[in-house]
Every structure is written in structure tokens, then in C-alpha cells.
Amino acid sequence: MTETEVIGLAREAMWVMIKIAGPMLLIGLVIGVIISLIQALTQIQEMTLTFVPKIIVIAIALIMLLPFMMQTMGTFTDGIADRIVAIGQNDETATAP
């Protein structure tokens, strides 16, 4: 495996990580901002008020986005497994007489 392939694999892994974690982080950010605005408008400064809605909404989003996340991870894992098999086949043909 060359350096270029390793860098490409690392880049692909980062994109997969962004695709999987990004929606959840954005949902948490949006809910946090909305709750903060409500707290600022009503001047209710209760710390637990931000966590409970955020946890509930993120749990619901996780349940809804789980098929997409599993498909993305499955595709990435299949690609890595194919690369491992290809490396094994290349080593086998290189050492064969």
C-alpha cells in the first residue's frame, strides 16, 4: 500500500466520520441555540433546561438516522475489507514462484 493510498483512505475515513457525526452535531447545535434564545427571552437560567430537550431530540434523531449511519459505515467497512483482500492477494502473487 503506497503513501497515496493511505492518505486517500484517511481522507475517506474523515468524510465518513463527518457524514455520520455531522447531522447529530448540527441537530444538537440548533436545539442548543433555540433553548438559549428561549432562556434569554424569558430570563429562566436553569441549567438542566438545556440538557433534557437536547437529549430527547438527539435520541429521536439517532433513531431516525440510524439506517443511514449503518449504511455509510457498512459501505466504508466493505471497502476496507476489499482493500485488505487485495493486499493479501498482491502479497500472495509476489511470493509465489
Q: Over the stretch 77-92, which tens digit does the pLDDT of each residue have?
A: 999 999 989 888 876 6
Dist. CA 53–CA 30, nearest whole Å: 11
pLDDT of residue 1: 73
The number of angstroms, rounded, from the C-alpha of 6 to the middle of its chain's C-alpha atoms is 20
Q: How many structural domains does the chain have?
A: 1
Q: What is the domain extent for residue 53?
A: 3-95
Per-residue pLDDT band for 73 (boundaries 50, 70, 90) equals very high
pLDDT of residue 96: 56
Of 44 and 85, the one with more pLDDT: 85
Per-residue pLDDT band for 14 (boundaries 50, 70, 90) equals very high
